[in-house]
A and B are shown apart, each in its own frame.
Chain A
């Protein structure tokens, strides 16, 4: 790819980017969120069209106008969100939208072909299984098989490890290796340094839409990569005072709840979070984390068990009651839940406070006080916005998250629930979120941190609970266990009960 330019409203997503990938290599495309990695590869895969620039495959200039063109040229992309039909079988999903077979499905032959490709690359999946019966890792294999079956020679994987357990990541990596050995070109999009170091042969770093460097993996190190990614040194070690846990703020006893689909999502969860500590919840997405946060904050009713906050029974009460107990909640979905995009920064900053004095008295809002309050928050939390009247949707991800934190912290919470608070944020925004969480911990708040990022969890939590299929697999101190042990718990394979650790002081 040569001189690729892609413009979105207000952003230059790709600014004259050159990129090349060779057969037989795993090439990592590294960069922070918003650096333009996915955009660049989406252009190669025919999802976007570049505003300028040329694409060459095997030295031949190609014009890729659609995903169909891309696959004809041997380019296949595996997206973060799988494009599979849940009620269809693996084999059906693989042929869907493909022009072969022309008319009649030769099921037996197809299934056999799928199995052969699967064996070759270590992608074993039962071709007759329905998608909904498969784990996330298996679904990802189906996506890869789909592209291989269609003859993709260049495979692009967009952050493929985000949804996998450490064991599944290991399996995926050996598959990628085998594909490279078989003469495929593999592009691996990621912002995780350790993974990139483990799997890739070469690395191209993007920053703010521009290519910064292409390096051979063996000639570089994570420190250099991080510097290239963010343009400055990053501190991986977070300064943290020793925990001084106080009284029990949140007590969850044998909690049960259903998911949106009406299936059991929490199956007897018991937890305590003490004032002045951060309890991390580790687990692969979809194991009940979202439901746990929603039940505590009153957005989802419990089917059994109790939620006690400072000794008060707040099981299945309306969200308003929970807010009144000074529980801050940083939701996973910043744009869909945490803020109102079309309303102003000012309006968004009072979302939780508008109904209490001095923000309002009786029927009326105290507009002058609200304005003063909002401008002081904007200043204190360094929310970059042209005016207080600017629509929240115009704020960048990091600024939006600072807005939410500013609002949630301003009520001096007793309990703070943070769900994936740094997902999608760049390094400096992540750092500021971590700093704010630790500040709250210093101030004596109890913090429940739900995250998929094990590095984040081990760096800032005092204790770590691992959740798998709605059950707590164990509660550990992050420094006393290895990542592999946590990984096994995340996969539900080993139940580690360290009762002694539950009492921390």
Chain B
């Protein structure tokens, strides 16, 4: 008897569901081992994380605050992945969106007008879209590898924001710290129930619903699915691939840009160095973990928001919060490894 991998004829919904779930569970197990080796009790650490993330109303609200930019970015990269466009530039697109929104807010420091926030949203979306368009146009017209261009543009965007917060836009009363003055309150997104949860959550859920219907029941969504699965068939069917690549990068970058806008307008209320602790990268894991399903993306993003918030609370027992990034990395690793099981099945084969 030997254990062999057999190619699956069809994908099994159960396995498609189990692989991500088990990836998370095994990652937590491996994380426990690491905690143990660092000299801590994994049970205590995980309980601490759990209560830090979901243990109280406040904890849950903080988790959702972190989940908002994750949702928006993950919806954006997920749509690009669906088209087999590897946009890993959500981080940079988020920074550019934040920068553009900040620019609008700082230009109207006294602004109390109703149009200020919509204008910031448009600016944030457009700036992210523009940042996504660079790899998009290069890919569509010259077939330049979008992984490299979108990744490298992240650093450009981060340094671009740094230039402004260390330079021309630095708060003169900020004791030299790298941030701008606070935006006028008219540029702050409204929050709910006295928590830090802001209107961005509505953007994110709205975006998830739109993308869900976009893929399911629109011509554009149909084209995206065909192009993603088989570009030659798309060409044969008379689809304009160039146009679709451009549109997908605009939506994908725009959503990340909106995440940046929501983050500075809803949480930080100014531009600063290091706006994002890597939301754009974590979004890649979320998109994969949710199998590019926009509704699942929302839920998985909350889980990852909890992981981030829980990571802060384990500091109280002396563990480093970078544990969270270790676990995130292990999840992605296991997920990619586990993907083989969605295409192959294990079976026992005897020699007769």
Contacts and interface: CB of A to CB of B under 8 A. Distances in A.
Interface stretch (A338-346, A425-433, A445-453, A475-483): A338-346
A367 interface: yes
B344 to A, nearest CB: 9
B interface bracket (residues with beta carbon within 8 Å of A) = 20 to 34
A29 B11 CA distance: 35
Contacts of B235: 299, 319
Given A9-B7, A336-B232, A341-B230, A323 B220 contact: no
Interface stretch (A55-63, A69-77, A357-365): A357-365
Given A10-B9, A340-B226, A347-B222, A352 B352 contact: no
A351 B220 CA distance: 13
B202 interface: no
A337 B233 CA distance: 4
Contacts, number: 81
Interface in B1-49: 6-10
B236 interface: yes
Contacts of A329: 236
A319 B237 contact: yes
A336 B229 CA distance: 10
A318 B238 CA distance: 7
Given A10-B9, A365-B218, A351 B237 contact: yes
B173 interface: no
A182 interface: no
A297 B233 CA distance: 13
B236 A364 contact: no
Contacts of A331: 236
Interface residues of A, number: 38
A52 B350 CA distance: 10
Interface string A358-399: 001001110100000000000000000000001100100000
Contacts of A244: none
Contacts of A354: 219, 222
A364 B230 contact: no
A364 B218 CA distance: 4
B141 interface: no
B232 A337 contact: yes
A320 interface: yes
Given A363-B220, A364-B217, A394-B9, A343 B226 contact: yes
A340 B217 CA distance: 18
Could you say which of A323, A364, A391 has the most chain B C-beta atoms within 10 Å of its C-beta? A364
Contact of B233 (A298, A318, A339, A355): A339
30 contacts: A9-B7, A9-B8, A9-B9, A51-B349, A298-B238, A319-B235, A319-B237, A321-B238, A322-B238, A329-B236, A331-B236, A336-B230, A336-B233, A337-B230, A338-B236, A340-B226, A340-B229, A340-B230, A342-B230, A343-B225, A347-B225, A350-B222, A352-B238, A354-B222, A355-B219, A355-B238, A364-B219, A365-B219, A365-B222, A394-B10
Shortest Cβ-Cβ A-B pairs, 8 listed:
A320-B238, A319-B238, A340-B230, A10-B9, A351-B237, A342-B229, A340-B229, A323-B238
